[in-house]
Amino acid sequence: MLAELAAALPRLTGQDWSGGEDRVLAPVRQGDLVETFVFHGEMEACDSVQVHAPELQETRLVTIRSVLEDGTPVQASDTVVELEDGDFQRALEGARDEVEVAQAELEKVRFDLQNDGIDLELNVKRRELELEKARAMVIEDAIVFSKIELQKAKLGVEQAEMELKYAQAALGEFRQKREATLKVKELQLQQARRKIDIQQENISRSVIRAPGAGIVYKPFIRLNNEMGRIEAGKVVRCGDKLLELPNLDRFRGVSYVPTVEYPYLTPGSPATLTLTIAPDRVFPAVLESKEPYPISRNERLGRNDPEGFLKEYKVSFALSGTDPVFRPGLTFKAEIATVIATGCTFLPRAALARPNGDRATVWMQAPGGAVERQIRTGRKGVAFIEVLEGLRPGDQVCLDFPLEEEGEDEDEDL
């Protein structure tokens, strides 16, 4: 690619071009059209147990109190991370105070309602006695009472019946009110006790234990929308990945490739990985898989800049073996050789003068100088393109052909 850019400098800088012999030429070749791509990425373990921040109730962010260092061997149930639980302890004390207050209010309301119920029941019994007394005052055949006194006694009975009815209705309403009031206070007490359970559970989850045996690895990941590694004092969200316990027996490489090069990558293509810490060693690999959907750098790296809007695809490399130098997080350079077409005629894409769909113009070296030739193209790579018609293997094409200026094109149109 550097040679092709250097060849294009004369026409980009406006130097004169002639059809002489001192031309930058490239041959038309026959064979497999193979493109080589170079990417950078990181090593990761194929099998790894992830440790996440616990899902806590009534809280979204937590602070790391302590965490084990990279490479620390652990067994199942060993403590690997501790979270700050001071807020939970204070909330627990407050919840216990609320329980005591709710319990006292419930007892007081129950006592008051009991007294009010006794008063209403006594009032009903009092009205029943008054009704019996009023009825006893009504004597139909008595000659000692005048008609006015008899009518007055009957009115007294009606009044006593009405007062008894009201007293009974008040007692019935009170009993319903008593049940509702006690239910509300009991619910308040249950809510206060639930706060105790929540805070006790949060405190118990603040100690994160290893789900299995392994070696601690702190990846560089997004924590609370910021890229970094877990450390004491770091604020993280509930559910964030904190640690990994990788299996060091098998590793793979992971890279993120631009969208322009993604279509040319084929799973199964051979590749080589060169570790940054061991540049003199090359490890054979195979392009194992590629994700079907892209992701932006802003989303992946937790950034917010114009460059981060670029979309990239995740691809994975399978290593043919293992090595003691392999560790999670090691950076590497990957070279992939992808076959675009087999048994074809192809030339550099830099030689195309006026590409238009599957048609293009090239300048071909001839005995009398460079001449234009119309060709038909086929499958395309990043640096090379297949030729279907117009050229044969061995033909020489010019890479420093003249560029047409916009002013000349406008004059020709006029």
pLDDT of residue 81: 92
Q: Is the pLDDT of residue 413 over 50?
A: no
Q: Is the pLDDT of residue 332 over 80?
A: yes
Q: Is 150 helix (H, G, I), strand (E, B) or coil?
A: helix
B/e letters for 41-68, b = 16+ CB within 10 Å, e = fewer, are: bbbbbeebeebebbebeeeeebebeebb
pLDDT band at 334 (very low <50, low <70, confident <90, very high): very high
Q: Is the pLDDT of residue 185 over 90?
A: no
pLDDT of residue 313: 94
Average pLDDT for the chain: 82
Q: Is the pLDDT of residue 412 over 50?
A: no
The pLDDT tens digits for 141-181 are 555 556 777 677 777 777 777 877 777 777 777 777 778 88
Q: Is 300 helix (H, G, I), strand (E, B) or coil?
A: helix
pLDDT of residue 182: 82
| Fold of domain 17-43+249-404 | Elongation Factor Tu (Ef-tu); domain 3 (2.40.30)
Model's pTM, two decimal places? 0.62
pLDDT of residue 287: 92
Q: Is the pLDDT of residue 387 over 50?
A: yes
Instruction: Give me the DSSP letters along 175-220.
Output: HHHHHHHHHHHHHHHHHHHHHHHHHHHHHHHTEEE-SSSEE-B---
Q: Which residues pair with 98 in a beta bridge?
A: none
pLDDT band at 406 (very low <50, low <70, confident <90, very high): very low
